[in-house]
A and B are shown apart, each in its own frame.
Chain A
Amino acid sequence: MRVQSIFAYLDRMDARPGESVGVHVSNERPDDPVDIRLLRIRSADSNPWGRGVLTAPVNAIRPVVVKAEAQTTNIGSFFWHRFGADAPAALTITFLFQPTRLPDIEGCLVGLGQTTVTQDGTRHVAVDGSQHERGIAKLTWYRFVLSFDGAGRSAVLCVCPAGGDPGSPVIAALDLPPLAAGDLLSIGACPLVGGDASARPRASLCCDGKLEDVQIFVGASTAADCRDFALGRTPVDKACYARWSFARDFSSDRIVSTVEPPREAWLENLPTRSIRGARWDGSEIDRRRSPESYAAVHLHSDDLLDCRWPEATRLHLPADLESGIYAVRVANALDADLPILHVLPSGPTRNRIAFLAPTATYLAYANFRQIEYSPNYEISLGPILNYGPEDIALSLHPEWSGSTYHRHHDGSPILFSSCRRPMLNIRPESVLWTFTGDMFVPDWLDATGRTFDVITDEALDREGKDLLRGYSVVLTGAHPEYCSHRMFDALETWVNSGGRLMYLGGNGFDSSVTFHPDIPGVLERRWVGAGPCIVQAGEQIHALADVVGGELTESNRPRSRLVGSMLVAVAFDRCEPYARAEGASDPRAGFAFRDLQEGDVIGAYGAYGGGAAGLEIDAVIDDAVPPEDRIVLLSSFDHSMAYHASVKETDTDTAPPPCRSDVVLIRRPEGGAVFSVGSIAWPLALPWKGYDNDISRMTGNVLDRFLDPEPLW
């Protein structure tokens, strides 16, 4: 089978008119010119009732044709420092390291100028080929002491379990030039340095393990000195050149020495911070209270922040470009890739309606590698797993990393996701529970003649409730599962002061994420307590911000307080319709039922499995929104066994939660309101019969009513 031959990514997920976006391309047919153009995406799904995948050219930006070659991606994180003119001729390096995986082939633990300390798959450590007599094992902290003489003639390496017997150091004879200005010290990789000596190095031969307490002393050490270092004693004649601690500035890739002068070191490819270090003893589980217990950084041989492909072109967005969802079409003679760009409104708000694109959820699921899941996953979802072209492409490109639902090579969970890599499931005609499914909402707005702005999770996190000012109604996508504390607080404040939210999906506002404070399109997510990739005890605090990971409920932001319902079930076999609930006869909600035609059963259709209720469904199971402030309009029924089997019970339940989706209308203070459908499949039903159906009509009725500033009741 032929596989897609061109891939691309953008350097951000959203931009405002007037800003520019870098386009990065890998073209496996380098003789083909590459055509790059901006398209407006109106619809992203080819269901037989809708408008098909509908794109429109953007004439304000001229297509460009460039040459582009196939690119490689250097994965793996590492620590590095570039020596300046005051590089010591002779020096001693010491650090703690805990291997978390022994490499399949040789990995580089330390690179210093042209010397390397390597680790092989048989546990041996060697300095330039001279093997240390002691092997190293996984999950044990070791103290490494490495000394180089000023003449480049010999090195002394001492490796021992932290606090243990150092044994006999290995002494290696070298024949290398002395250390010079511009040389690098790296730990965890043997970095590649290109022609530009000032550029950041690229990863090569990376290792998996935790690193802590990196220090450099001026002057070479004897074997006896090295033993002293290994035992935690600093020889009196040694001046400290630099000491780097990872116990502060947890979101930063720049590490500044704690001894003067403040020499810089760097972490490449976003290794994991805010993890248990060598001094963690279990007495403290919050790194905010004991940062020294979390002074380690976890280097992974498959970490990836940025593919670092050359910029093929830079798109300058015109100042009057309409807010919307766009794709940058990048095509060679055979194939095209369509990375997605959300264009935010410029200047004063132009529309009263905004679509909130769930870019946090896109990042959390980016490159979801279903093929790596076990049979249990299929059994829990119901039907036989189905795959598509992106699954094959992803399997051929393991270097593009997985989603936050996967693990690193060493078995630890992937906690970060970056847009600076091809995200193959965030494309038109992909799975319906992410971008393709979300697009049913703007598609419906467009098809029913409503104009709207597009805003994103990341912009909401960045700008808070100010981003929502001026909008009467904000609509979500089908699956806005991930939400930062700042996003949740902004939405809650907004709906409690007159804003109106239409939550048109399922399993929304479930779990906490944090966006990178400095790098667009980068997100952290930590599973806590339960899930496929949970973090270890004591590692629930994010690195990118001082917030607790896991479900938002754990940080006193239960989604039911915002949208009235909680997730109750997940399955993928079939979807079901709704029946009118008791609240359907409440005259205060009469507007929602205006002109409905389908009788008692509503929504027995949809783009997945024949119903508007399904995939992931929410129900009203608590009184976070008081009963007097909510009306349940519809409830789904007759869900399959796969849904029932997925219903989670909790210790506090007096009875198992119901297995249904509830459509709820909620009154908030100052005229605010929420319409909550609690089903990923709801928007997937909107295009049935050319958008002429009761799901579409009820959604339109509520939107029209929400645009009327009169309080609901």
Chain B
Amino acid sequence: MTQQVEGRFPGHAPTTSDHDCSELFARDPFGRHGPAVRDLFARLSRIPQIGQFVVYCMEPYRTWCPALIVERDGQRTLELLAGAVFTTREEVEVEVFRRRWERYFGSPAPELTAGGTTPSRIYGRG
């Protein structure tokens, strides 16, 4: 039996600042962001773990996909959304951010393009 939590969190609507922050975040997902971006990130993190989107590393340094934390037979596990495979950690970070946005606000996420990638900044398994 798989339990999933869907849908919007009542009373949460994105503000103009949230939209601006999402663009700042996407430009450099591991960048130095101000309090407003960190606040948005924290709000999207602090939602129930069951139904939360996370990053799944398919091959270290090479491919990632979004994953969903679900509960099966009383155990938390991951359901991979393997249709969306990314070749940089920044891209998958932004994709998961978008999915969290949609779950939290219940509205489509802005179009976001991941930036911030440099050849010397790679990500193994953390």
Of B29, B55, B121, the contact of A387 (CB 8 Å cutoff): B55
- Say if the beta carbon of B19 comes within 8 Å of chain A: no
User: Do A395 and B77 touch across chains, with their CB atoms under 8 A apart?
Assistant: yes
User: Do A684 and B124 touch across chains, with their CB atoms under 8 A apart?
Assistant: yes
Tell me the residues in window 374-432 of chain A with beta carbons closer than 8 Å to chain B beta carbons.
Answer: 374-376, 378-379, 382-388, 391-392, 395-396, 398, 429-432
* A274 contacts across to B, CB distance below 8 A: none
How many Å from the CB of B21 to the closest CB on chain A?
14
* B62 contacts across to A, CB distance below 8 A: 46
In the assembled complex, the Cα of A1 lies from the Cα of B123 at a distance in Å of 24
Of B30, B122, B124, the contact of A573 (CB 8 Å cutoff): B30
Most buried by A among B46, B118, B122: B122
Given A371-B69, A572-B126: A379 in contact with B42 (beta carbons within 8 A): yes
User: Do B29 and A383 touch across chains, with their CB atoms under 8 A apart?
Assistant: yes
In the assembled complex, the Cα of A385 lies from the Cα of B47 at a distance in Å of 14
* A391 contacts across to B, CB distance below 8 A: 78
User: Do A607 and B120 touch across chains, with their CB atoms under 8 A apart?
Assistant: no
* A615 contacts across to B, CB distance below 8 A: 126
User: Do B125 and A429 touch across chains, with their CB atoms under 8 A apart?
Assistant: yes
What per-residue 1/0 map shows which CB atoms of B60-97 lie under 8 Å from chain A? 11101001010000011111101000000100010011
How many Å from the CB of B22 to the closest CB on chain A?
14
User: Do A604 and B124 touch across chains, with their CB atoms under 8 A apart?
Assistant: no
Given A48-B61, A436-B125: A386 in contact with B120 (beta carbons within 8 A): no
How many Å from the CB of B20 to the closest CB on chain A?
18
In the assembled complex, the Cα of A433 lies from the Cα of B124 at a distance in Å of 10
What per-residue 1/0 map shows which CB atoms of A348-391 lie under 8 Å from chain B? 00000000000000000000000110111011001111111001
- Interface size class for chain A? 35 or more
User: Do B80 and A378 touch across chains, with their CB atoms under 8 A apart?
Assistant: no
Tell me the residues in window 20-50 of chain B with beta carbons closer than 8 Å to chain A beta carbons.
Answer: 29-30, 32-33, 38, 41-42, 45-47, 49
User: Do A610 and B124 touch across chains, with their CB atoms under 8 A apart?
Assistant: no
Most buried by A among B42, B89, B118, B121: B121
Of A1, A46, A47, A688, the contact of B80 (CB 8 Å cutoff): A1
- Say if the beta carbon of A608 comes within 8 Å of chain B: yes
User: Do B57 and A387 touch across chains, with their CB atoms under 8 A apart?
Assistant: yes
What per-residue 1/0 map shows which CB atoms of B86-112 lie under 8 Å from chain A? 000100010011000000000000000
Of all chain B residues, the one with the shortest Cβ separation from A688 is B120
- Say if the beta carbon of A45 comes within 8 Å of chain B: yes
- Say if the beta carbon of A640 comes within 8 Å of chain B: yes
Given A371-B69, A385-B54, A386-B54: A48 in contact with B122 (beta carbons within 8 A): yes
Of all chain B residues, the one with the shortest Cβ separation from A577 is B120
Of B29, B38, B60, B118, the contact of A45 (CB 8 Å cutoff): B60
In the assembled complex, the Cα of A395 lies from the Cα of B60 at a distance in Å of 20
Of all chain A residues, the one with the shortest Cβ separation from B79 is A1
User: Do A47 and B78 touch across chains, with their CB atoms under 8 A apart?
Assistant: no
Q: Is chain B's interface secondary structure helix, strand, loop, or mixed overall?
A: mixed
How many Å from the CB of A300 to the closest CB on chain B?
17
Given A378-B45, A386-B64, A387-B55: A607 in contact with B124 (beta carbons within 8 A): yes
Given A383-B126, A388-B57: A609 in contact with B121 (beta carbons within 8 A): yes
Q: Is chain A's interface secondary structure helix, strand, loop, or mixed overall?
A: loop
Of all chain B residues, the one with the shortest Cβ separation from A640 is B32
- Say if the beta carbon of B6 comes within 8 Å of chain A: no
* B32 contacts across to A, CB distance below 8 A: 640-641
User: Do A432 and B56 touch across chains, with their CB atoms under 8 A apart?
Assistant: no
- Say if the beta carbon of A605 comes within 8 Å of chain B: yes
Of all chain B residues, the one with the shortest Cβ separation from A573 is B30
* B78 contacts across to A, CB distance below 8 A: 371, 387, 391-392, 395
How many Å from the CB of A523 to the closest CB on chain B?
23
User: Do B49 and A608 touch across chains, with their CB atoms under 8 A apart?
Assistant: no
Of B47, B60, B67, B97, the contact of A46 (CB 8 Å cutoff): B60
How many Å from the CB of A615 to the closest CB on chain B?
8
Most buried by A among B52, B69, B79, B123: B123
How many Å from the CB of B84 to the closest CB on chain A?
14
User: Do A372 and B124 touch across chains, with their CB atoms under 8 A apart?
Assistant: no
- Say if the beta carbon of A37 comes within 8 Å of chain B: no
In the assembled complex, the Cα of A640 lies from the Cα of B121 at a distance in Å of 15
How many Å from the CB of A387 to the closest CB on chain B?
5
User: Do A431 and B61 touch across chains, with their CB atoms under 8 A apart?
Assistant: no
User: Do A609 and B30 touch across chains, with their CB atoms under 8 A apart?
Assistant: yes
User: Do A431 and B75 touch across chains, with their CB atoms under 8 A apart?
Assistant: no
How many Å from the CB of B116 to the closest CB on chain A?
10
- Say if the beta carbon of A202 comes within 8 Å of chain B: no
* B64 contacts across to A, CB distance below 8 A: 386
In the assembled complex, the Cα of A653 lies from the Cα of B88 at a distance in Å of 41
* B97 contacts across to A, CB distance below 8 A: 384
What per-residue 1/0 map shows which CB atoms of A550-567 lie under 8 Å from chain B? 000000000000000000
In the assembled complex, the Cα of A1 lies from the Cα of B122 at a distance in Å of 26
- Say if the beta carbon of A42 comes within 8 Å of chain B: no
- Say if the beta carbon of A574 comes within 8 Å of chain B: yes
How many Å from the CB of A393 to the closest CB on chain B?
10
Of all chain A residues, the one with the shortest Cβ separation from B120 is A605
In the assembled complex, the Cα of A398 lies from the Cα of B49 at a distance in Å of 18
In the assembled complex, the Cα of A159 lies from the Cα of B15 at a distance in Å of 61
In the assembled complex, the Cα of A609 lies from the Cα of B118 at a distance in Å of 10
Given A387-B57, A395-B75, A429-B60: A45 in contact with B124 (beta carbons within 8 A): yes
B: residues with CB less than 8 A from A are: 29-30, 32-33, 38, 41-42, 45-47, 49, 52, 54-57, 59-62, 64, 67, 69, 75-80, 82, 89, 93, 96-97, 118, 120-126
A-B contact pairs, 5 of them (CB 8 A): A376-B46, A387-B56, A433-B126, A608-B122, A609-B126
Extra pairs beyond A46-B61, A46-B62, A384-B96 (5, CB < 8 Å): A45-B60, A47-B122, A392-B77, A605-B120, A684-B124
* Shortest Cβ-Cβ A-B pairs, 7 listed: A610-B121, A395-B77, A386-B55, A605-B120, A375-B46, A607-B124, A574-B30
A: residues with CB less than 8 A from B are: 1, 45-48, 371-372, 374-376, 378-379, 382-388, 391-392, 395-396, 398, 429-433, 436, 572-574, 604-605, 607-610, 615, 640-641, 684, 688
